[in-house]
Structure 1
Amino acid sequence: MIVSKKMEGIIMSPTAYEKRRISEFDSYCKHVLRNEAKDIQRQLARKRKVEISFSDLSEMDLNQLYVFDEYKTDKHFFHVINEQVALQSNHLSRALKKLSDTKQKVILLSYFLEMTDQEIGEALNVARSTIQYRRSAALKELKAEMEEHEHE
């Protein structure tokens, strides 16, 4: 910005032409900055319409954003009446292994192979009421075992 010129000890004011050029440049800079601010505001408004924060996503939407790799070595396998049941939970697998063989079969057939008490009774050659009793006893043992090792 030219405010004054110094020539051989004489201080000169800017000419009318220089003042006008300074004013035009100042006006041009303000105009550019004003338009740039408008462009940024429009761009942010467009982004707000199509983008959403991760914290605003529902649990279901968040679950769609990632995938867990599954390997056979990560699963625990149980064999029940010519069927194979794979469990991924170490906690549940450990608790199931501590049950007696008959209670373990009842739980696996009932909850993982979705068999009724009658079907389980027929498969194990046991009365339906016995299956019901074994399942409720097994569930109590499972609950106690899992609560005991809950923080591991």
Structure 2
Amino acid sequence: MRKSSSYDEMAVRKQFDRICKLALKGEKIDYRRHIAYRQKHEVMLSELSEKDMGRLFTVDDYGVENQWFQVLGYDIEVKDMLIAEALQALSEKKRDVVLLSYFMDMSDAEIGRALNLVRSTVYEHRKRSLELMKNIMEEHTDEKKR
């Protein structure tokens, strides 16, 4: 006896249903494995530290627009044009004190020995130089606003 066509149709549907369920189960496993991999190997940009963010790009710096000063055999590069302009307005001794102090990280005593000055004189030169530079930079900023 031959089985009815409705029985054959029902068997095919059950087989198809089983195959679909197995395929979906496999997709679910693959998807979860993929998500776990991404969580392990990927990081959101907002979660990166400044150091890590800095490694994501580079900036070409050719030094064409930078100003160079020479003090005691050191070549000191000043990248900000406004600061460079203010430094040029200072006397040589005051400029040397500022450059050695802030760009070469030298103490007042070290600067004094290098320039044959008393430590208190180095302090006064730096203090007055910073005041002059501040005034020059403020004037330049005010001129740009106008």
Is the shorter-chain TM-score for this pair beyond 0.5, marking a shared fold?
yes
Alignment of 1:1-152 (within 5 A): 15-146=6-137, 149=141
Higher relative contact order (CA 8 A, sep 6+): 2
SS of residue matched to 2:106: coil
Q: Which sits farther off after the overlay, 94-103 or 31-40?
A: 94-103
Q: Which sits farther off after the overlay, 124-133 or 22-31?
A: 124-133
Percent of residue pairs identical: 36
Pair 91,41 (structure 1): closer, same or farther in 2 beyond 3 Å: farther
Root-mean-square deviation (Å)? 2.8
TM-score when scaled to structure 1?
A: 0.73
SS of residue matched to 1:22: helix
Structure 1 residue 117, shift from structure 2 partner: 2.8
Structure 1 residue 47, shift from structure 2 partner: 1.5
List runs of 5+ in structure 1 lacking aligned partners: 1-12
TM-score when scaled to structure 2?
A: 0.76
Pair 91,37 (structure 1): closer, same or farther in 2 beyond 3 Å: farther
SS of residue matched to 1:66: coil
Q: Which has the larger radius of gyration?
A: 1
Structure with the larger helix share: 2
State the aligned residue count. Answer: 140
SS of residue matched to 1:114: coil
Residue matched to 1:6: none
